[in-house]
Amino acid sequence: MKHPPVIILVEPQLVENIGMTARAMMNTGLRELRLVDPRDPWPLGEVHHNRMASASSGADEILTNAKIFNTLEEAISDLNYVYATTGRSHDMVNRILTPRAAIPDMIGRSAQGQKVGVLFGRERTGLVNDHIVLANAKITIPLNPEFASLNLAQAVLIIGYEWYQSEDKTPDDYIHNGNSIPASREEYLNFYRRLEFLLDESGFFVTQEMRPSMTRSLQNMLQRAVMTEQEVRTWHGVITALAKGTTRKK
């Protein structure tokens, strides 16, 4: 069974970021949030709670179930493998993965019954070395090296996004057909032949020499559009209307 990684925010400073993290988690199918020594004491007072809830845009479920810990050691004690998200520049010797490579690693571990988690450091400073040595590997998001500081919730979103993509079955590139389906080739060709017939009648093909290249060009454009049955019907109406002439000849 594929269990999503636990998200662990270490010393988060702004309740808005906790709320936005919950939102990003809900967006991407992550479920379990843990907070280590958040700046504002827990449970939050009403003002802070409202700011967090507002930033979460309705991800209450994540926030209600969030667990609070005094130390990172306690927060990760039940996990089998821990990833620390960091920027590029640490001189420690670590295994480093991109988010895209970390997800299959997590899925493999999860399939073995391991419980995995991802650490995110506090705003501005990120994770410090004392946190990083508690992790088994680092995840570094490839970003513009001259401007690599991500907002906390943005970093969580990238991990969650990669997680969600790994199991999503959406085709990469397709035509969405609403309530219709692509027209059969027969329906399409009936339309095209009628168009060509009406163009002949209207004197569109000035010379017979240009005819082959013109007809190929028209067909290519129409084929590229991959018309639905409904669209073929609509365009039958279009050419019918145009063929009547703009001054409504009988």
Q: Of 2, 39, 95, 216, which lies in the binding site for its own copies, with binding defined by CB under 8 A?
A: 95
Helix or strand or coil: residue 122?
A: strand
Buried b (16+ CB within 10 A) or exposed e, 110-144: beeeebbbbbbbbbeebbeeebbebbeebbbbeee
Does residue number 150 form part of the binding site for its own copies (CB under 8 A)?
yes
Residue with tokens 């970390």: 102
For residue 233, count other CB atoms closer than 10 A to its CB.
Answer: 15
**Is the CB of 46 or the CB of 147 nearer to its own copies?**
147
- Reading the block at residue 228, the tokens are 């639905």
Output phi, psi for 219, to 5 deg. Answer: -65, -40
Encoded one letter per residue, x for contact with its own copies by CB under 8 A and - for no contact, window 180-219 reads x---------------------------------------
Binding to its own copies in span 24-43, by CB under 8 A: 24, 26-29
**Is the CB of 222 or the CB of 243 nearer to its own copies?**
222
Q: Of 50, 71, 129, 177, which lies in the binding site for its own copies, with binding defined by CB under 8 A?
A: 177
User: Are 69 and 32 a contacting pair, CB within 8 Å?
Assistant: no
Q: Of 231, 233, 236, 243, which lies in the binding site for its own copies, with binding defined by CB under 8 A?
A: 231
Residue 175, class by beta-carbon neighbours within 10 Å (0-12 exposed, 13-18 middle, 19+ buried)?
exposed
**Is the CB of 142 or the CB of 212 nearer to its own copies?**
142
Buried b (16+ CB within 10 A) or exposed e, 178-211: eeeeebeeebbeebbeebbeebeeeeeeeeeeee
Does residue number 142 form part of the binding site for its own copies (CB under 8 A)?
yes
User: Are 188 and 232 a contacting pair, CB within 8 Å?
Assistant: yes
Binding segment for its own copies (CB under 8 A), chosen from 17-25, 68-76, 108-116, 239-247, is 17-25
Does residue number 96 form part of the binding site for its own copies (CB under 8 A)?
yes
Does residue number 93 form part of the binding site for its own copies (CB under 8 A)?
yes
Residue 62, class by beta-carbon neighbours within 10 Å (0-12 exposed, 13-18 middle, 19+ buried)?
buried
Q: Of 114, 125, 129, 151, which lies in the binding site for its own copies, with binding defined by CB under 8 A?
A: 151
Q: How far is the CB of 220 from its own copies (least distance, A)?
A: 16
Q: Of 32, 37, 40, 105, which lies in the binding site for its own copies, with binding defined by CB under 8 A?
A: 105
For residue 45, how many C-alpha atoms fall within 13 Å in the half-sphere facing its CB? 4
Q: How far is the CB of 99 from its own copies (least distance, A)?
A: 9
Q: Of 77, 112, 144, 213, which lies in the binding site for its own copies, with binding defined by CB under 8 A?
A: 144
Residue ranges that bind its own copies, judged by CB under 8 A: 20, 23-24, 26-29, 57-59, 90-98, 100-101, 105, 138, 140-144, 147-151, 153-154, 157-158, 161, 164-165, 168, 170-180, 228, 231
